[in-house]
Structure 1
Amino acid sequence: MWLATVSRLDWPPVSSVNISSPELRINQQKKALTDKLDNLKSLGINTVFFQVKPDGTALWPSKILPWSDVLTGNIGQDPGYDPLQFMLDESHKRGIKVHAWFNPYRVSTNTTPRTLAELNQTLSLNPASVYVLHRDWIRTAGDRYVLDPGIPEARDWITNIVAEVVKGYDIDGVQFDDYFYTESPGSALNDNQTFKKYGLAFNSKADWRRHNTQQLIEQVSRTIKQLKPGVEFGVSPAGVWRNRSFDPMGSDTRGAAAYDESFADTRKWVQQGLLDYIAPQLYWPFARDAARYDVLAKWWADVVKPTNTRLYIGVALYKVGEPSKNEPDWMVRGGVPELKKQLDLNESTPQINGTILFRENYLNQPQTQEAVNYLKQRWNQS
């Protein structure tokens, strides 16, 4: 299960941030988390991907990043406890593994004047935000502040953050999500100057960008294995590597492709053994012609087959029970038949080692209850 903290999507509860008493706030946040873990255990979930770096802030006492404002409402304010340590203690007590989930390049979720003011105010803090410490690394893309992935020092900085967590905590794994180069049509990343400085040896800007993402993955993979070989490293990329219309090795799909849009050669990382696992986000039903669930699951199974990389499939719990013109199957009988087909395929394909649901708070929504009851029957045999 993915448990997202960015914008407080799954945790902590929004209401907790407005409590004036620190003690009550801490108690509410801790209870909300243990309630969720009890629920996950009752469902049969054995691993949680806990978002410890949702943007340029941290959910642990970092010497590199300021405290996350999701905890208190203010960037850099000490929440009075260590959420990552609490999460680890409570999960491990329940027999649940925890992978620390990092968003490598995002600095903020928007570029509003208020966000800008909050980032600038961290200058007096120790540590201050990367936004004020390394203004020259910051770009705007997808209407967010992000780090420019083409800057070697920025990649070193991300690697150091991962190393801090791997060294300091008894985590079971590290995961990066699919936000590498993230642009939107009206808000592209302007990395022309960076390209001029570092990229002129490459045939194209796209090749150079893929090289940058590759460098980050290599660095982080190597660092984790040097520090604690038992800590797993995985990536959860967009579900389509490349479409066959662009590349004969690609899948028979017509979806946004990680290789061409995020500049992430995810297939290569598997082939090179840089990852312990890959968790492609296959957020479509069997009937979605442009990106069929079964077509992609089998394509990924073939990719991992000759390697030692394990394959977990990311499944769209957030779509279950939701009306959709293009994907009506999520509505049929509460989404149970579609979910059953996906899990049946995962469990009957030897190369698929498990399923990850996106994301935790959808367990608590009215539209998913039939599916949740089905999962309880299916997974929790105890």
Structure 2
Amino acid sequence: MGAEGREKQVAMDTNPSRRAMLQGAAASVLAAAGTAVGAAAPALAALPGRPYPTTGRETTLSRPYPLHEFRGVWVATVLNIDWPSRPGLTIAEQQAELTYLCKLAGYRGYNAVLLQVRAAGDRLYRSSLGEPWSRYLTGTLGRDPGWDPLEWAIREAGRWGLQLHAWVNPFRVAMDTSLSSLYPGSYAARNPGHTYAYGGRRYLDPGLLAVRRYVRSVLAEIAGRYRVAGIHLDDYFYPYPVPGTPIPDGAAYAAYGGGLTLGDWRRENIRRFVRDAGPDIHALNPRAAFSISPFGIWRHLTSSPLGSATSGLQAYDDLYVDTRRWLKSQYADLFVPQLYWQLGHPTADYSVLARWWNEAARDTRTQLAFGEAVYKMGSAGWTDPNELRNHVTLTRSLSRMDGNGFYNASAMKANVLGGSSRVSSTHYTRRALPLRMPWLGSTGPEAPAFTRVTAGTAGVRLEWTVPAAGVPAAWLALWRRPAVSTDVPRLPSTAEHLALVRAGAPGAGTWTDATAVRGQRYWYILQSFSQNATGSVAGSAIMTTA
């Protein structure tokens, strides 16, 4: 991933075609319920304290307050970059550290955590494939930490209104080159001929079909065993080039090259892996998003007329990944290219690359967000406190953009120059729901219903129930707005008045609005959303005076 590195040198959607697709999916659901898109709920002189169903959807859109947006933060475990802070902490200490990162991300207005669960042929989850527990947990490769970090992290992230995406490094199996360091019984140890050493690391060889199938089984196991929001791959497929050192995959090329050039053969190996990984994941977890965070430059104009006005490393030529083709082919549900350069960079201007990717994503359903280099704040060229804020401003001005991801959690926490908090105070003053991906499931959960509202000295206490039947309610969204009318409001289409996003659960729920102004009359509106952010056809509304 981006800065693991020291290994590298390195809104909302207004696209007419895709928005029409999303609205069309919503229209079909509403039509089935006998409700026209944008139709007002029945005009009622509502009584305070009485819950009312509401099915009409507002049509107002808001760029400052998008209802759906990707706001992710990467949490790197390799070399203990972000979490845990060091190996050998107690379970309670590890959990406390992750709680703090999730709480901070929620406070800053983020809605997704990309937790690295496989950094180098290891794991932070229970598995039956023979891969070892990560040394970054206990200090010893293969030692059982005594708990399931991924399972716990999914629940903890949800407590703070965050999705949890399982981030996997697919082909790296060791942070050194020694075969003796491979864990006995692991795939790499059983098949040392399926690995090669390069640049001080050891990798599985993607040129071998058996390797690609095995790594796909790793992704599928996570998707099938855990209720993750998605499976996320970073930019490490073939390793970043070491000048003057060729990748030692000549034997595999000689056996399986099939007449292709070496570069085309490598690109085809990775293309097939990525193409097949998505269906594997969706077969076991149909609503889980498959996402990729590739290096931010596909090709330069000097290499291809379709390239960008940039120079330097190229994903296509130097890393052997045809990421533009992946995007056009819709292999992934979400692309988060790493645009780890500042505005005005002399060879890779953020603005140039942002516009290039925006154009490349035209006429695809794939969601697009930009990876942001928070870790560079304060370094050469990154001295403007508003740099990241300006990136998000630009992102939201582009027709195909759906958000931003921020590398990394430690940098978010350090908040150098206030760069991270400026993004939040400018752009994330309201929470946002996860991105809509109707192709992963267009049926929403059953509608929740308010059951009681009570105004007291501690605030306004709201109680509700969420049906257990049907599609699970992964998220609940609750809006609070001044009651300027007694007419039952429609379901909101923006986050302007969004007061709460919380993980959904069947049964009774409650929340106290401690910021309600005494004597002010409010409408509260509640709606459920599925894992892929398909909303319930109906919601519930209740009016009260604080």
Q: TM-score, normalised by structure 1?
A: 0.90
The corresponding residue for 1:177 is 234
Cα deviation for residue 117 of structure 1 reads 4.0
Give 1:31's match in structure 2, choosing from 96, 99, 104. Answer: 96
Matched, 1:364 2:413: yes
The corresponding residue for 2:209 is 152
In the alignment, the residues of structure 1 paired with residue 126 and residue 341 of structure 2 have an alpha-carbon distance, to the nearest angstrom, of: 38
Amino acid corresponding to residue 188 of structure 1 in structure 2: P
Q: Is 1:235–1:275's contact at 8 Å kept on the other side of the alignment?
A: yes
Give 1:349's match in structure 2, choosing from 398, 401, 421. Answer: 398
In the alignment, the residues of structure 2 paired with residue 280 and residue 26 of structure 1 have an alpha-carbon distance, to the nearest angstrom, of: 34
Shift in alpha-carbon separation, 1:86–1:186, aligned structure 2, 3 A? farther
In the alignment, the residues of structure 2 paired with residue 239 and residue 109 of structure 1 have an alpha-carbon distance, to the nearest angstrom, of: 24
Q: Is 2:166–2:230's contact at 8 Å kept on the other side of the alignment?
A: yes
Give 1:224's match in structure 2, choosing from 281, 285, 289. Answer: 281
Which aligned pairs between 1:182-221 and structure 2 lie closer than 5 A? 182=239, 183-185=241-243, 187-202=245-260, 204-221=261-278
The structure with the largest helix share of the pair is 1
SS at structure 2 position matched to 1:211: helix
Matched, 1:377 2:425: yes
Cα deviation for residue 348 of structure 1 reads 1.3
- Identity percentage over the alignment? 33
In the alignment, the residues of structure 2 paired with residue 364 and residue 306 of structure 1 have an alpha-carbon distance, to the nearest angstrom, of: 37
Cα deviation for residue 160 of structure 1 reads 0.3
Amino acid corresponding to residue 6 of structure 1 in structure 2: V
Q: Is 2:389–2:419's contact at 8 Å kept on the other side of the alignment?
A: no
Deviations 1:296-322 (A, max 9, x none): 101100111111011100011011112
Matched, 1:71 2:137: yes
Give 1:262's match in structure 2, choosing from 319, 322, 340. Answer: 319
In the alignment, the residues of structure 2 paired with residue 184 and residue 312 of structure 1 have an alpha-carbon distance, to the nearest angstrom, of: 29
Cα deviation for residue 369 of structure 1 reads 4.6
Give 2:84's match in structure 1, choosing from 2, 5, 12. Answer: 12
Matched, 1:293 2:350: yes
Amino acid corresponding to residue 69 of structure 1 in structure 2: R
The corresponding residue for 1:103 is 169
Q: Is 1:140–1:146's contact at 8 Å kept on the other side of the alignment?
A: yes
Deviations 1:239-261 (A, max 9, x none): 00011100001111103111111
In the alignment, the residues of structure 2 paired with residue 373 and residue 310 of structure 1 have an alpha-carbon distance, to the nearest angstrom, of: 25
Amino acid corresponding to residue 250 of structure 1 in structure 2: G
In the alignment, the residues of structure 1 paired with residue 361 and residue 88 of structure 2 have an alpha-carbon distance, to the nearest angstrom, of: 47
Cα deviation for residue 343 of structure 1 reads 1.0
In the alignment, the residues of structure 1 paired with residue 117 and residue 80 of structure 2 have an alpha-carbon distance, to the nearest angstrom, of: 12
In the alignment, the residues of structure 2 paired with residue 268 and residue 118 of structure 1 have an alpha-carbon distance, to the nearest angstrom, of: 37
Deviations 1:233-284 (A, max 9, x none): 1110000001110000111110311111111011111111111111110011
Deviations 1:341-360 (A, max 9, x none): 21110111121100101100
In the alignment, the residues of structure 1 paired with residue 124 and residue 280 of structure 2 have an alpha-carbon distance, to the nearest angstrom, of: 21
SS at structure 2 position matched to 1:233: strand
Q: Is 1:75–1:118's contact at 8 Å kept on the other side of the alignment?
A: no
The corresponding residue for 1:22 is none
In the alignment, the residues of structure 2 paired with residue 298 and residue 373 of structure 1 have an alpha-carbon distance, to the nearest angstrom, of: 25
Deviations 1:175-234 (A, max 9, x none): 1111011132254321111001000321x1000000000011011012112222211111
Cα deviation for residue 370 of structure 1 reads 1.6
In the alignment, the residues of structure 2 paired with residue 373 and residue 234 of structure 1 have an alpha-carbon distance, to the nearest angstrom, of: 26
Structure with greater Cα Rg? 2
In the alignment, the residues of structure 2 paired with residue 118 and residue 79 of structure 1 have an alpha-carbon distance, to the nearest angstrom, of: 19
SS at structure 2 position matched to 1:315: strand
The corresponding residue for 1:331 is 383
In the alignment, the residues of structure 1 paired with residue 291 and residue 425 of structure 2 have an alpha-carbon distance, to the nearest angstrom, of: 29
Which aligned pairs between 1:43-82 and structure 2 lie closer than 5 A? 43-64=108-129, 65-82=131-148
Q: Is 1:108–1:146's contact at 8 Å kept on the other side of the alignment?
A: yes
SS at structure 2 position matched to 1:164: helix
Amino acid corresponding to residue 307 of structure 2 in structure 1: G
Cα deviation for residue 71 of structure 1 reads 0.5
Q: TM-score, normalised by structure 2?
A: 0.64
In the alignment, the residues of structure 2 paired with residue 343 and residue 18 of structure 1 have an alpha-carbon distance, to the nearest angstrom, of: 38
The structure with the largest strand share of the pair is 2
In the alignment, the residues of structure 2 paired with residue 289 and residue 369 of structure 1 have an alpha-carbon distance, to the nearest angstrom, of: 23
In the alignment, the residues of structure 1 paired with residue 371 and residue 110 of structure 2 have an alpha-carbon distance, to the nearest angstrom, of: 14
Matched, 1:238 2:304: no
Deviations 1:31-76 (A, max 9, x none): 0000111111000010111101001101001112111111001111
Q: Is 2:377–2:417's contact at 8 Å kept on the other side of the alignment?
A: no
In the alignment, the residues of structure 1 paired with residue 162 and residue 147 of structure 2 have an alpha-carbon distance, to the nearest angstrom, of: 21
Q: Is 1:311–1:354's contact at 8 Å kept on the other side of the alignment?
A: yes
Q: Is 2:344–2:351's contact at 8 Å kept on the other side of the alignment?
A: no
Amino acid corresponding to residue 11 of structure 1 in structure 2: W
The corresponding residue for 2:335 is 278
In the alignment, the residues of structure 1 paired with residue 88 and residue 290 of structure 2 have an alpha-carbon distance, to the nearest angstrom, of: 36
Amino acid corresponding to residue 34 of structure 1 in structure 2: T
